[in-house]
Amino acid sequence: MQKCSFLIVLLATILPAVAQPAPIDLSGQWRFAMDSKDVGATEKWYNQTLADKINLPGILQAQGFGDDISIDTPWVAALPRDMRWYLLPQYKAYTTPGNVKIPYLSQPPRHYLGVAWYQRDIDIPPSWQGKRVQLTLERAHWESTVWLDDRLMGTDNSLVAPHEYELGELAPGVHHLSIRIDNRMILPYRPDGHSVSDALGASWNGIVGTIALNATSPVWIDDAQVFPDVEKKTAIIKVKIGNLTGQAGSGTLSAGGASMAVNWDAKGGSAELTVPLGDKAQTWDEFHPNLQHLNLQLSGAFADDQRALTFGLRQIKTDNSTMLLNGRPIYIRATHSGGDFPLTGYPATDVASWKRIFQICKDHGLNSVRFHSWCPPDAAFTAADELGFYIQPECGMWNNFRIRASPPCSKPRRRG
């Protein structure tokens, strides 16, 4: 039996940290190399200077790299009706080299499944001395591996969240940053899932959205999640504290006029802060998308960090088969999105683009989008919050799950 995991997100956006100093934007021209034989890691390409050039954010298929499309192109997911399309007489004109057009596919200008390397120098300013540095790749496809100078910093393969790398405390000056991207089928996902299939253009290789370095204090706000309470007009902020110092410490966590003492050990800590929102705080729904804003601050020994939080005051319940939002029934009128953006080849990561998409849906009487087997970038969540729109993101896979039944017991089992 096939199951699709889903979640209707009604409002819980957490904005990026607003702590100083300002992030270093890494968008622009990068050095680049194709690695179709997957030898770069073994040959230590991170210690070499790559020769080609490419622009990031972006994908290699849209910048002249990859193989020409042919009738033999090894697509990730060729539907059964597509397998022998080139033998049908009505498609004969579209089978000649240079004029191949694939039916049913969101056809990219080039095709490539494999490894590619992206490289540039980064300059750490003197003001970042003693700071904790993090690299953010908002959306990479599929697996990323990062080297700083000749040090391996880690690997990530999330299809639904930014790839974030802890670079630690860096000496001011120039460093060599190398990123290996592998867009092959890294995990055994169903090939027709919209996060991995080329049927709607999701087999690209590259890095899109925000590509930046951020600096924080050595003790920082690692995560913050808001849980609003409509009846009490409060918000509980659940916080994880990161610690690079290796030493225990203490400080103060505050937001919206509320504060509390917090402690962390050598590895970090956690805390829950309850913030009153006031009797005049208004609830959020599709007709009245009122937003609440809080500035969360952490101060103390080696700690000086803050994060802007935006969320909706709302309560979600069910009454038998009826879904209730703030005590009122809501009816989902949704359309489908498979992540296809044929003009660019990758999903939009700016709020304006998603507002345009959602507003078109609203103009046609819809109030929701199901993101089938993929999760949109953060900008879609922000746009939905601001417009009053329900979204159903799904994990980056679409697989079959089978539950294995336990064999019957012939004898009762003893306890003890």
The CATH number that applies at residue 194 is 2.60.120.260
Q: According to the model, what pLDDT value does residue 20 have?
A: 64
pLDDT in tens, 302-355: 999 999 999 999 999 999 999 999 999 999 999 999 999 999 999 999 999 999
pLDDT in tens, 235-264: 999 999 999 999 999 999 999 999 999 999
Are 60 and 184 in the same domain?
yes
Is 410 inside any structural domain?
no
Are 64 and 193 in the same domain?
yes
CA max distance for the chain: 75
**DSSP character string of 67-111:** BPP-TT---S---GGGTTGGGSGGGGGG-STT----TTS---SSB
pLDDT in tens, 70-117: 988 999 987 656 678 888 899 899 999 989 998 877 899 999 999 999
Average confidence (pLDDT) over 5-33: 66
Range of the domain at 372: 316-392
Are 298 and 380 in the same domain?
no
Do 291 and 386 touch, CB atoms closer than 8 A?
Answer: yes
* The pLDDT of residue 26 is above 60: yes
Are 54 and 141 in the same domain?
yes
**Number of structural domains found in the chain:** 3
Q: According to the model, what pLDDT value does residue 294 have?
A: 98
Provide the whole-model pTM. 0.90
Q: According to the model, what pLDDT value does residue 33 have?
A: 98
Last-in-domain residue among 286, 310, 334: 310
Are 130 and 192 in the same domain?
yes
Is 416 inside any structural domain?
no
Last-in-domain residue among 310, 334, 367: 310
Do 311 and 263 touch, CB atoms closer than 8 A?
Answer: no
Do 284 and 305 touch, CB atoms closer than 8 A?
Answer: no
Are 201 and 271 in the same domain?
no
Are 161 and 178 in the same domain?
yes
Q: According to the model, what pLDDT value does residue 236 have?
A: 98
Q: According to the model, what pLDDT value does residue 199 have?
A: 87
Are 195 and 230 in the same domain?
no
Are 206 and 58 in the same domain?
yes
Average confidence (pLDDT) over 129-136: 97
